[in-house]
A and B are shown apart, each in its own frame.
Chain A
């Protein structure tokens, strides 16, 4: 028995996609010109699918801090946070994030994925319930699989559907409600006030993942909960450094007095090496810059609105009525059109994401763009122009 036989269906599906000149799973970035441009397959390409929302990847202070840390502390810690992998930089980063969120405690994980894995698997014990949105990110689902809690799922962004489920749970059981600020595929924001209020009414502890909303939502960029003024309803915030912060890593913050015990019980925190000092140093500088980055935030939202309006006017079927985030997604009718559109667009010099099931909800095919604060208005106009050209070439909207 070949253990790989079980993947035959995946291989068949994969090879049925009609890519001719480019392949979304084999994109190689040859050269990075700036936050918003790269050379892909020998072509100068506008990057419109990199989740680099705040454009921090070339932030001068972050780069300088990383270089200094590299010289001073070397390329890696070679150890777990609970052994030899906690340097002064890790502690400073945790203090910076705690200060940014105005909270008492912060734990830094090696990736955003592990932050969700580590929080959810540790908090959801055998007799507890973890209640999640049906469209949750894979890291939330995997955190559920890893823990021992009973998992209850409610309809995406639907407080009424959530309440019906919470009503059926034992009143005195431990409950963790997990939601996201912005959902990464459609770029739709959550009705956090309603969801968290229902959660609190039924005695849940609440966790909000602001991975795709940190940096540009809310007055200081803490996320959707800040924007809506409901941060007091959330017991934990989880976030990532691999989007707005421009590097890699993840974190969780909380005011819970016992929070630090998670350092001894959260396996994804313990059983992996800590972040390299250079990454930690650049994340610290980026978060400081994000806090005072209201100009970037303002320009990012302008870009998002310009793109949404432009594509809507061009006749594209938009995933959200307005620009709810810098994620702007358009519906494509099927996998064939999705494939051809993505490929043609790349050859036109725009890199976006083709999103297909199971990453997307309800079997949708999407072309997903993520806008950057460093995109110029001219680049946004150029993206719209190339979308129109591509639609014409592949026979969409006609």
Chain B
């Protein structure tokens, strides 16, 4: 389970692009709940990378469907580095 601080940071990054005003929770999905197109997702990934000073490899992205999954991955990468 992701750190609350990690989740909060990710929520803050999503808020400005949450045009559907979807509720933000670990189980919120990027595609069906937030309805983010692939270009917006790309910008978001870049922002998450810069905020946490990590690399989120392109290869991992197809498996990351929810905010919680992204937060878990971010924590994992931060801990490894």
Contacts and interface: CB of A to CB of B under 8 A. Distances in A.
A42 interface: no
B58 A165 contact: no
B58 A153 contact: yes
A144 interface: yes
Where chain A touches its partner, the secondary structure class is mixed
Given A134-B42, A169-B55, A164 B37 contact: no
A362 B39 contact: yes
Interface size class of B (residues with CB under 8 A): 10 to 19
Interface residues of A, number: 17
A202 to B, nearest CB: 13
B17 interface: no
A165 B49 contact: yes
B63 interface: no
A141 to B, nearest CB: 8
A152 B54 contact: no
Contacts of A150: 55, 57, 59
B55 A144 contact: no
A169 B39 CA distance: 24
A151 B54 contact: no
B53 interface: yes
Contact of B37 (A151, A168, A361, A363): A363
Contact of A168 (B38, B53, B58): B53
A155 B46 CA distance: 8
A357 B46 CA distance: 20
Given A164-B50, A165-B49, A168-B53, A152 B58 contact: yes
A357 B53 contact: no
A85 to B, nearest CB: 33
A151 B49 CA distance: 13
25 contacts: A134-B42, A144-B58, A150-B57, A150-B59, A151-B57, A151-B58, A151-B59, A152-B55, A152-B57, A152-B58, A153-B45, A153-B58, A155-B46, A161-B46, A164-B50, A165-B49, A168-B49, A168-B54, A168-B55, A168-B81, A169-B55, A357-B39, A361-B39, A362-B39, A363-B37
Which 7 interchain pairs have the tightest Cβ spacing?
Answer: A151-B58, A150-B57, A168-B55, A152-B55, A151-B59, A153-B58, A151-B57
